[in-house]
Amino acid sequence: MVLALAAIGVLLLMQQQPNVAQPPAPIQPATGGVYTEAIIGSFGRLNPILDLYNHADRDASRLLFSGLVRFDDRGLPQGDLAETWAISQDGTVYNFSIRPDAVWHDGEPVTSDDVAFTVDYLRSDDLPVPEDLRLLWQQVEVKVLDPKTLQFKLPEPFAPFLDYLSFGVLPKHLLGNVTPATLVDSEFNLKPVGTGPYRFDHLISEGGQIKGVVFAAFEDYHGGRPFIDQVVFLYYPDAKSALAAYQQGEVLGISRVPQDILAEVLNTPEFNLYTGRLPELTMIYFNLDLPELPFFQDAALRRALLMGLNRQRMVDQILGGQAILADGPLFPGTWAYYDSIEHVGYAPDVALDALKKAGYTIPAEGGEVRQKEGVKLSFEMAYPDDALHAALFEAIRSDWARLGVEVKPKPLAYQALLKDHLEPRDYQAALVDLNLSRSPDPDPYPFWDQAQASSGQNYAKWSDRRASEFLEQARVTLDTGERLKAYRNFQVRFTAEMPALPLFYPVYSYAVDAQVQGVRMGPLFDSSDRLGTLPAWYLIARRPVGAQETATPTP
């Protein structure tokens, strides 16, 4: 009887409990809306093989055109126009199959002929194609096997070759009669037809000048129709005018947030700031082959110089926090980066002890510069003649002066630094920025292999057989595991020898209004990579049918 009464009590309690509210149905992206972005820069040409020197044009190309492959933010290749590919065992033949659903914005199918046709442009001496890129394509044989299959044949194995297949493909059926010499002035560059997630709609002109460009979502895009119906790029000469346009409600995003507007953007609650590592590395090079400066050849001394630099203070005070400390020559976050690479931190006392141990002392007769056997720790440093690099040089000079190391300034115009000093190896030390844009595969070979010490880009003249063996193996081996091992060993060797001093990787900051949802940005291989996920962004969201709300704008 007691049990029965208890059961009835429980039943009554259950009946008295209020209905538990069900969690709201998840919001789902829906198509619609217009996203307008302030592009810092000017309009040039809407053509993916003519946009190398114009960031603003590359942003547009990212939406309008597709390559055979694209790369994720770890630098791993993904199919784009290519559905599948296969590589011969000896690494010299690449076969590609084009997606059957890949079509041009005018409805024509994408074919192997389009790819081969675009490569012919890249081989031409009549177009502003980088010399190394032109030479590579002049050595690669391209064979059309059928309308949807083609083959690339290399003269020798080259593991980073996939990097070179992300170029935007051009339509042969529209440009077949346009020679390389006339392509630069072709009307196509103002009314392009591509295969990307957005198609060209129209230009915005004012006073005879192009002020913007409008793109419409491509319904038949092989990657799926984008959510946002229309994307508008408006061009502004500088970051402050772009920010003013946002404040006046003209745009929802700013293509780049440099230091001069960073604080104001951070203090704007409606803005979301996205930051990604750029494919750049700021380093201090030493000319390792100077008999008059023998201390440069001492790995322990080079390490001591790195320990004597307060790099974090440089990043915080000079770069406004817009950089990541570097531990080696490869980019963190990529497939080839060794996460356990040694970190050499700021340790001026340890650095000072290392200099003393190496026999460099302050002379008894006085002075501030350490020396050994009559050789002073004194040298000249070349650097680009601009405010940023001048400030970095002064920070370096100040830090090393505390160790008794003297550094004399040599500011130079960028082209003079490269052509008159780095390339002929006519320098002592140099503060440089390595730019490896559009190179997801690290391939450090050109910069550090001993074969490149005399005439290549190994400006430090580092001649280390072990490091070179790792680089050479990684360049010809297709097995990813073996390449990982080779690059790991190279990074360990680099850090042990420290042939140059890695300072930091600059970062790219991008601002988008909070009402734009789905924005994601990882490490960048080009500033236009920030738009790689734009087809998944959305301005309108809906709840599933049957939910209390059927449509709701995003917050």
pLDDT tens-place string over residues 383-415: 999 999 999 999 999 999 999 999 999 999 999
309/345 Cα distance (integer angstroms): 8
**Neighbouring residues of 328: CB distance < 8 A, sequence distance ≥ 6:** 338, 341, 491, 494, 495, 502
Q: Which residues of the chain have pLDDT under 70?
A: 1-25, 543-555
User: Long-range pairs for 323-327 at CB < 8 Å and ≥24 separation?
Assistant: 323/282, 323/504, 323/505, 323/506, 323/507, 324/277, 324/504, 324/505, 324/507, 325/503, 325/504, 326/281, 326/282, 326/283, 326/502, 326/503, 326/504, 326/505, 327/495, 327/502
Phi, psi values for residue 272, rounded to 5°: -105, 130
Cα–Cα distance list, 249 to 36, 183, 252, 449, 549 (Å) = 10, 37, 7, 52, 28
Phi, psi values for residue 356, rounded to 5°: -65, -40
467/549 Cα distance (integer angstroms): 62
Percent of the chain residues past pLDDT 70, beyond the cut: 93
Amino acid 544: pLDDT: 67
3-state secondary structure 99-165: CCCCECCCCCECCHHHHHHHHHHHHCCCCCCCHHHHHHHHHCEEEEEECCEEEEECCCCCHHHHHHH
Burial 200-226 (b: 16+ CB within 10 A, else e): beeeeeeeeeeebbbbbbbeebbbeeb
Cα–Cα distance list, 315 to 71, 282, 320, 382 (Å) = 29, 11, 6, 20
Amino acid 551: pLDDT: 42
314/218 Cα distance (integer angstroms): 45
Closest to 410 measured CA to CA, from 399, 423, 426, 424: 426
Strand partners, 366: none
What would the pLDDT profile of 419-434 be if each residue is shown by its tens digit?
999 999 999 999 999 9
Query: CATH number for the 280-506 domain, one of 3.40.50.300, 3.30.1360.200, 3.40.50.11030, 3.10.105.10?
Result: 3.10.105.10
Closest to 204 measured CA to CA, from 215, 194, 214, 193: 214
pLDDT mean across residues, the chain: 92
Decide: 46 and 61 in contact? Cβ < 8 Å: yes
Task: Spell out the domain ranges in the chain.
Answer: 26-64+196-270+514-555, 66-185, 280-506
Query: CATH number for the 66-185 domain, one of 2.40.110.10, 3.90.76.10, 3.40.50.300, 1.10.10.10?
Result: 3.90.76.10
Decide: 302 and 499 in contact? Cβ < 8 Å: yes
Q: Interhelix angle for 299-307 vs 348-357, to 10°?
A: 150
81/501 Cα distance (integer angstroms): 40
Burial class of residue 272 (count of CB atoms within 10 Å of its CB; 0-12, 13-18, 19+)? middle
The identity of residue 67, as a single letter, is G
Helix (H) or strand (E) holding 323: strand 323-325
Percent of the chain residues past pLDDT 90, beyond the cut: 87
The identity of residue 483, as a single letter, is R
Cα–Cα distance list, 417 to 66, 318, 444, 460 (Å) = 36, 22, 21, 14
Q: Is 26-64+196-270+514-555's fold the same as 280-506's? A: no
Closest to 215 measured CA to CA, from 37, 446, 337: 37
pTM for the whole thing?
Answer: 0.89
Burial 159-191 (b: 16+ CB within 10 A, else e): bebbbbbbbbbbbbebbeebebeebeebebbee
What is the pairing mode between strands 552-553 and 77-79?
Answer: unpaired
425/404 Cα distance (integer angstroms): 26
Amino acid 469: pLDDT: 98
434/283 Cα distance (integer angstroms): 8
Amino acid 547: pLDDT: 53
What is the pairing mode between strands 77-79 and 69-71?
Answer: antiparallel
Phi, psi values for residue 432, rounded to 5°: -130, 160
Amino acid 367: pLDDT: 80
Q: To which CATH superfamily is domain 26-64+196-270+514-555 assigned?
A: Periplasmic binding protein-like II (3.40.190.10)
DSSP string spanning 25-46? PPPEEES--EEEEEEES-----
Distance of CA 548 to the CA centre of its chain: 44
Taking the alpha carbons of 264, 267, 271, 273 in that order, is the dihedral positive or negative?
positive
Categorise residue 207: left if φ over 0, alpha if ψ from -120 to 50, beta otherwise.
left
142/521 Cα distance (integer angstroms): 34
**Neighbouring residues of 195: CB distance < 8 A, sequence distance ≥ 6:** 65, 66, 81, 102, 103, 104, 105, 110, 169, 221, 222
309/306 Cα distance (integer angstroms): 5
